[in-house]
Structures are given as structure tokens and as C-alpha cells.
Amino acid sequence: MAEVILSGLHKAFGQTKAIQDVSLTIGDGEFIVLLGPTGAGKTTLLRLVAGLEQPDAGTVAIGGWDATTTPPSDRDVAFVFQQYSLYPHLTVYENLAFPLRSPIRAMKEADIDAKVREIAALVRIDDKLNNQATRLSGGQMQRVAIARALVRSPSIYLMDEPLSSLDAKLRGDLRVELKRIQTVLGATILYVTHDQIEAMTLATRIGVMDRGQLVQVGTPREIYTDPVNMYVASRLGMPAINFLPLSVFPGLSAPSAAKTIGLRTEHLKIARSDSASAMGKVTWVEHLGDQDYLHIDVQNHDVVTLSDPDSGLKTGDMVRLTPALPLYFDGAGNRVRA
């Protein structure tokens, strides 16, 4: 395991600026999760670390030495590809043994066998070891791809949406397993996901990407409670944060530059109210099983919050909303601190 330092990375594909001035230090044993919409450049960043792409500018340092021009095979990184990239002509067993058979390692066949079986059991693919890699379901292929990375102990694991095609139960199990492996082995991991829960539970730090740029890096808590702009704020939280023009709440003592107010469930006090003091109307209560989403119409803005089960609010009720320590943003969408 090693520390990986990216500094000033740029990468363009023709006119598309896939990565713009990204600097990030992934500490030894750190689990960094990259969040961002499709096309933000997450895969490209991983490929730059692996050496599958060459940066236009900037450097990649792995374990203290400059690896910017080092070919992938000499970087000692493990990659779980978004599209699995299994060796189609080999069995699952041979796919897992492939990285271990590298002459650089000179591993004994018995050790290889033990390792393959151990990891296969870990990701629960041990009953498919003799299957052709192409004769698997999507979820099984994905587990083989994860296992092929886990058999190794590289300087860094690069994982591109590794749990995306698994069912909820298995995804939860493997999430816990990954976290355990990372803590036990002290593995350094750079991980891409679209799943908030994965980001919140796995990451030591989250990096939020937008159009090739790393907008904010911080602990899951920081990203959630202290986002630098509206874009980052909207990445985390279920239901998503509500943005309203400040004019909706005229009496509020907001910072002078503030134009928009960001409200999560915990930023709102909702009370049933009638007559003149009412500001909104409950338009819909969405039952999601363990929790209810409350949709409130506030001057034609749809505000969605988690409903307090004891509130007894129902469709058609008139309510009064009081912001409590909300987030403020200026006209450009950047955070304004009170």
C-alpha cells in the first residue's frame, strides 16, 4: 500500500476537457470515493492513476516516486473496470489466477490456488470457479472483476462503480466486506460510485467532481454539512436538498450576498397552521416504507422533506415553515457563510 499524490492533472480528448487541474492526495490506507454525474471525468481520473491514459499536464506520484510516465504494468495498481473487462476465453478461476501468475511475482501454484479460493469465497463466486467468464450474469461478472483486483495487494485499488449491478442485499454485504478488507489490510482505495450510501459509509473522504474538476474534497460529514456550493450540496442527502429563493422567507436575517437558501429536512421546522401565517400546503405524502416524504408547495416551489411520523400531516394541510440554521448561497451558487 502506498500514498498516491495527483497534482495539477489535465486531460483533454479533442475538444472535451475530461480532467481540469485536479490535485488530490490519497493517503496511505485512505478510502476516497469520487462522486459526480455521468461524464464528470471519474473514469478518466482513475485511468490516469493507472497509467492507461497519459495526462496532458501534471504528475502522478505513487509511493513517493514520480510515476507519470511509468507504464501501467510497472505501477502495481489494481483496477476494477466499469465494464468488468474479464478475460473471455478463460474460466473464472483462470481470470482470478491471471494477475498472480505474473512472473514478477513468482508465486507458487499452491499459494495461487489458496489465494484464488479464499477471495472467490469472499465475494461468493466460489461455486462458479470453473465457469467460462462469459457464461455469468452481470452481477457475477462484476464479482469476478472485484475478486481479480482483491487477489492482489497493489499500491492502490482503483474501483469504478464496482457494486453497480448487484442486488441491494449483496451490495450491502459486499460494501461491509470492502470496508472490512480496507481496514484490515490498510488498503488505499480510490472508488467511484453514484450511490450515496456507499459514499457515506465507505469513504474516509469524498471527492465531488463536476465537468472535469474536483470541486470539493472532505469527509462525508463535511461534504454533507458544509458544502462549498449548491452543486456539492445537491450531491448528498435523501431527499435532496431544497433550494428556494431567499425572498420566500422575508423575515430571515441572512448574509447580505445570499440569494438562495438551501434547506434539508433538519433545517426545517414544520408546524400545522391555518389562516394568514400559513406559507405552504402539503400536496402529497410519499410512503417509502420505513419513512415518508412530505411534498409541500411553497409559492409554487416543491419542497420535499422527511416527515416526522408524529406530526400527523396529510395531503391538503396548511403549514408554516421556519428555517433553522440553513445553508446560504450567492447568485453564482457559491456558499455564503453566515
Ligand X SMILES: Nc1ncnc2c1ncn2[C@@H]1O[C@H](COP(=O)(O)OP(=O)(O)OP(=O)(O)O)[C@@H](O)[C@H]1O
Binding region for ligand X (CB under 6 A): 13, 16, 18, 36, 38-44, 82
Binding site partner of 162, from Mg ion, ligand X, another protein, none, Cβ cut-off 5-8 A by kind? none
Among 36-44, 114-122, 135-143, 234-242, which window interacts with Mg ion (CB under 5 A)? 36-44
Which residues from 87-146 bind another protein, rule CB under 8 A?
87-89, 98-99, 102-105, 132
Q: How far is the CB of 71 from another protein (least distance, A)?
A: 7
Q: Which whole-number Å values give the CA distances from 153 to 65, 125, 209, in the listed order? A: 18, 20, 27
The C-alpha R_g of the chain, in whole angstroms, comes to 24
Quick one: which of 268, 211, 239, 242 has its CA closest to 329? Answer: 242
Quick one: which of 300, 266, 261 has its CA closest to 280? Answer: 300
Of 40 and 129, CB closest to ligand X? 40
Among 12, 20, 28, 52, binds another protein (CB under 8 A): 52
| Helix, strand or coil, per DSSP, at residue 307 | coil
Of 46 and 174, CB closest to Mg ion? 46
Q: How far is the CB of 88 from ligand X (least distance, A)?
A: 21
Maximum C-alpha span of the chain = 80
Among 21-29, 82-90, 172-180, 255-263, which window interacts with Mg ion (CB under 5 A)? 82-90
Q: Which whole-number Å values give the CA distances from 116 to 85, 103, 147, 235, 290, in the listed order? A: 18, 17, 8, 37, 40
How far apart CA 63 and CA 155 sit, in angstroms, is 7
Quick one: which of 107, 109, 144 has its CA closest to 124? Answer: 144
List, as one string, the DSSP characters of 36-51. Answer: --TTSSHHHHHHHHHT
Rounded to the nearest 10°, the torsion over CA 59, 61, 67, 73 is -130
How far apart CA 46 and CA 79 sit, in angstroms, is 8
Binding site partner of 175, from ligand X, another protein, Mg ion, none, Cβ cut-off 5-8 A by kind? none
Binding site partner of 23, from another protein, ligand X, Mg ion, none, Cβ cut-off 5-8 A by kind? none
Binding site partner of 130, from ligand X, Mg ion, another protein, none, Cβ cut-off 5-8 A by kind? none
Of 16 and 322, CB closest to ligand X? 16
Among 43-51, 71-79, 223-231, 271-279, which window interacts with Mg ion (CB under 5 A)? 43-51
- Residue 295, interface with another protein (CB under 8 A)? no
Query: Is residue 144 a contact partner of residue 92, using CB atoms and an 8 Å limit?
Result: yes
Q: How far is the CB of 228 from another protein (least distance, A)?
A: 33
Q: Cα angle vertex 288, ends 286, 290, to 5°? A: 125
Q: Cα angle vertex 21, ends 209, 34, to 5°? A: 25
- Residue 168, interface with another protein (CB under 8 A)? no
Binding site partner of 83, from ligand X, another protein, Mg ion, none, Cβ cut-off 5-8 A by kind? another protein
Length of the chain, in residues? 338
Question: What residue is closest to Mg ion based on CB?
Answer: 43
Which residues from 65-84 bind another protein, rule CB under 8 A?
71-74, 76-79, 81, 83
How far apart CA 250 and CA 244 sit, in angstroms, is 12
Binding site partner of 316, from another protein, ligand X, Mg ion, none, Cβ cut-off 5-8 A by kind? none
- Residue 43, interface with Mg ion (CB under 5 A)? yes
Of 43 and 68, CB closest to Mg ion? 43
Q: Applying CB under 8 A, which residues contact another protein? A: 50, 52, 71-74, 76-79, 81, 83, 85-89, 98-99, 102-105, 132, 148, 152
